[in-house]
Amino acid sequence: MSNIFLHSFVKLLSALPSLQRAIALDRTNRYKDAWNTVSSVWRNDELRYSDSEGKEEESQRFIQAVKILHQFLLAKQDEAS
């Protein structure tokens, strides 16, 4: 996984079979929705270096989606709180 970069979500997903399975098998679509939100909103350098303000609703949705995926990944590492 050393060749995976933060801005390459397709490569990240392919490197995480457990996340792929969770997205495919989740009947609530929680993980799929979170993944789609993060991958569609993330615009790597554009977000960091932009001089425009983002939309609060989109930002909150993005943050919540990141939390869902983060908790999933922590649980897979037995580090969930």
**Pair 55, 61: CB distance under 8 Å:** no
Q: Lowest-pLDDT range, 3-7, 18-22, 41-45, 63-67?
A: 3-7
Q: How far apart are CA 15 and CA 9, in angstroms?
A: 10
Quick check: 53 pLDDT over 60? yes
Mean of per-residue pLDDT scores for the chain: 77
The three-state secondary structure class of 8 is coil
